[in-house]
């Protein structure tokens, strides 16, 4: 099921471009279950940002926080992982070497690529479902958070010195 909620990341900024330098507009972004980018799905996203008119275009600054489903590095179970990032990025009005982001001809400022970059970078490399995740049994693959497997109980106490 794909939703078009990513539209909330595309801001119409024509009215800001028409203002003089220094004009600030505060924007709150809130969305549930949508694709920030094709490879980044957010279960929830919240952003508190300000758009400031500057000579080159618009400066986007603020904080964004997203929750997404991530595979635990130990037990491989999907869990919700929240990530936050601070933004301070120039969206230039016209193609410009100083800026990676450009406001479209339709006066649309697309936060999707920026959020994607920030959130993917700040995501922990090995996200765990909980700090004391017990992981999977190396022998039978059982999730040791959910159950104790028999091989584990026996091996640890009796056979450890023989096995290794
Ligand atoms: Zn885990
Ligand atoms: Zn086992």
Residues 6+ apart with CB under 8 A from 108: 10, 11, 12, 13
Distance 129 CA to ligand 1 centre (A): 4
Q: How many CA atoms lie within 13 A of 47 on its CB side?
A: 30
Distance 73 CA to ligand 2 centre (A): 18
Distance 76 CA to ligand 1 centre (A): 6
Average pLDDT over residues 108-112: 93
Question: What is residue 38's predicted lDDT score, i.e. its pLDDT?
Answer: 84
Q: Read off the pLDDT of residues 5-54 as tens digits, 9 standing for 90 and up.
A: 568 899 999 999 999 999 999 999 999 998 888 888 899 999 999 999 99
Question: What is residue 18's predicted lDDT score, i.e. its pLDDT?
Answer: 96
Distance 121 CA to ligand 1 centre (A): 21
* For the CA of 132, the nearest ligand: 1
Question: What is residue 86's predicted lDDT score, i.e. its pLDDT?
Answer: 92
| Residue 110 three-state SS | strand
Alpha helices in the chain, H assignment, sequence order: 14-17, 112-122, 150-154, 160-163
CA distance 128 to 131: 6
Instruction: Tell me which of 69 and 144 has the higher pLDDT.
Output: 144
Please say if the pLDDT value at position 79 is more than 50.
yes
Question: What is residue 39's predicted lDDT score, i.e. its pLDDT?
Answer: 83
Average pLDDT over residues 42-70: 94
Question: What is residue 124's predicted lDDT score, i.e. its pLDDT?
Answer: 64
- Sorted by where each begins, the domain ranges of the chain are 5-133, 134-164
């Amino acid at each position: 099921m794909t939703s078009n909620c990513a539209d909330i990341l595309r801001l119409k900024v024509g009215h800001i471009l028409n203002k003089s330098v220094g004009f600030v507009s505060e924007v709150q972004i809130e969305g549930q279950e949508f694709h920030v980018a094709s490879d980044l799905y957010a279960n929830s996203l919240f952003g508190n940002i300000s758009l400031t008119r500057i000579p080159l275009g618009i400066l986007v600054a603020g904080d964004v926080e997203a929750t997404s489903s991530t595979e635990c590095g130990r037990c491989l179970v999907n869990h919700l992982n929240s990530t936050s990032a601070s933004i301070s990025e120039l969206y230039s009005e016209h193609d410009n070497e100083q800026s990676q982001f450009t406001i479209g001809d339709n006066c649309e400022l697309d936060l999707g690529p920026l959020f994607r970059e920030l959130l993917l970078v700040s995501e922990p490399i090995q996200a765990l479902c909980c700090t004391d995740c017990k992981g999977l049994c190396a022998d039978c693959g059982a999730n040791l958070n959910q159950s104790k497997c028999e091989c584990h109980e026996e091996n640890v106490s009796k056979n450890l010195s023989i096995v290794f």
